[in-house]
Amino acid sequence: MQVVVLGAGIIGVSTAWHLLERGHEVTVVDRQPDAALETSFANAAQISVSYCEPWANRDAPLKALKWMFRDDAPLLFRPQWPWGEGWRQWRWGLQFLAQCNDAAFERNVQQLVALGAYSHDALKEVVQATGIDYHRLERGIAHYYTEQKSFDTAGDAAALMRRYGVARRVVSTAELLEIEPAFSAFAHRIVGGTYTASDESGDARVFTQALARRCAERGARFLYSHDVLRLEKAGNAVESVTIRARPGSADGQTGPQAKHLKADAVVVACGSYSAPLLRTVGVDLPIYPGKGYSATFRLLKPGRAPFVSTIDDEVKCAISRLGDELRVAGTIEVGGYNLSLDTPLARARCRMLARRIEEVLPGVCDTRMEEEGGSPRFWAGLRPATPTNIPFIGKTEVGALWVNAGHGTLGWTHGAGSGKALAELISGKVPAMAFGFYGFEPARSPKGLAAS
């Protein structure tokens, strides 16, 4: 089969790899000059099968309300005017609210763990087959708490995960420091934590770009620096994809003429931009951008930096070591398609990341801001967020049109498995996992999302 994959983030490239494995002919289109230059570029690096709780939980509405006026809040809802495209944010917000109860939370966790476990196996298979080196650390993921009230609920969350087969355990501060001694200077603030030894971390960008090169070596065609303009339908099936080379790119030199790509199957894996693209053929999925930030710092004292990837519960950030650098990333801002790092709000969030790292790991990294002579690398990405945090993987109601998008906070964790699962579906097989594939199970229609 000839398959066109739209998007060369972790999801599109994994899909391409697994399609090639099954003997398909693959073309990948992306507007950037290389793979993984948008949301898969500088994330928190965690392969977190066990830390997969969706943001939508029973406490989220009250917390979001409390945090609405705090620039450094972990979850920030920035309301858009409800006219124009703004109403989509309100609709998404209402669907999110409908997921903020215990029954929906547990149902969503079950799906996320199932996909996570399947994906972790798929990632190990790809690494074994390709030997890609991406600063991988198989040291587990730890989570520390600084507030007793939050730590008191850690046991329930760990028990829930264990019910679905993930060995997350509650640990005392002393045990946590044995697992990761790098946090000893912050020990006086830590009241306890949890730990899952089977989780891991590694650089999503390095992995995705290397896998894209392996795909090209196996015959996949990559059309980088091409915008996907729209999908074209004939009857109720997708007939072609309209693309155009970006001005200044090698193909764009001859003039910005649109081209039409035809294929037996088209996969939309454009992250947050999947939603507007799919709407060009009437497929309306609740995927909305959730902006997050990361900061990458040079290590000054590598011997005192953590190896175990860790979640800081108070500020909802993750800390991961990537070779001789430390990445800290997190927070979510629901406020539209805006990637700016240069607004007062963005600057406040970036400064918060640097301040926190200095507080938790004093003197370990160069956390000075640029104006102080430092060279931190700040970055923002738009998580393709769904109200449930469960991605849409499967076939749409438009013939020959498939989707692999909406991976929210977990696209790196779920990347390898989502690619493998969609390649299986396109090849006529149903993957062996307890997961509601879009278009294959009525409960996973967007309307089903709002039900609790």
Ligand X SMILES: Cc1cc2nc3c(=O)[nH]c(=O)nc-3n(C[C@H](O)[C@H](O)[C@H](O)COP(=O)(O)OP(=O)(O)OC[C@H]3O[C@@H](n4cnc5c(N)ncnc54)[C@H](O)[C@@H]3O)c2cc1C
147-159 burial: b if 16+ Cβ within 10 Å, else e: eeeebeebeebbe
Q: Of 190 and 416, which CB lies nearer to ligand X in the complex structure? A: 416
Give φ, ψ of 191 to 5 degrees.
Answer: -100, -10
Q: Of 38 and 313, which CB lies nearer to ligand X in the complex structure? A: 38
Which tokens belong to 187?
């020990």
Shortest CB 449 distance to ligand X, Å:
18
The Cα–Cα gap between 408 and 170 comes to 26
Contact 359, 301 (CB under 8 A): no
Q: Of 67 and 175, which CB lies nearer to ligand X in the complex structure? A: 67
Shortest CB 373 distance to ligand X, Å:
26
**Per DSSP, what are the bridge partners of residue 238?**
233
Shortest CB 240 distance to ligand X, Å:
15
Shortest CB 424 distance to ligand X, Å:
18
Which residues of this chain interact with ligand X, rule CB under 6 A?
7-12, 29-32, 37-40, 43-46, 48, 227-228, 269-271, 273, 277, 292-294, 318, 329, 381, 383-384, 405, 407-413
Shortest CB 413 distance to ligand X, Å:
3
The Cα–Cα gap between 310 and 392 comes to 28
Q: Of 43 and 146, which CB lies nearer to ligand X in the complex structure? A: 43
Q: Of 29 and 100, which CB lies nearer to ligand X in the complex structure? A: 29
Shortest CB 385 distance to ligand X, Å:
9
Q: Of 36 and 170, which CB lies nearer to ligand X in the complex structure? A: 36
**Per DSSP, what are the bridge partners of residue 6?**
29, 268
Q: Of 319 and 398, which CB lies nearer to ligand X in the complex structure? A: 319
Strands 317-322 and 325-334, bridge-based pairing = antiparallel
Give the CA distances from residue 284 to residues 6, 229, 400, in Å, rounded to whole numbers and listed in that order. 17, 17, 16
Shortest CB 152 distance to ligand X, Å:
25
| The Cα angle at residue 391 between residues 397 and 28, in degrees rounded to 5 | 75
Q: Which amino acid is at 146?
A: T
What is the three-class DSSP state of 442? helix
Closest CA to 59 of 102, 92, 90, 91: 102
Give the CA distances from residue 252 to residues 9, 243, 277, in Å, rounded to whole numbers and listed in that order. 22, 11, 22
Shortest CB 332 distance to ligand X, Å:
8
Q: Of 157 and 416, which CB lies nearer to ligand X in the complex structure? A: 416
Whole-number CA gyration radius for the chain: 21
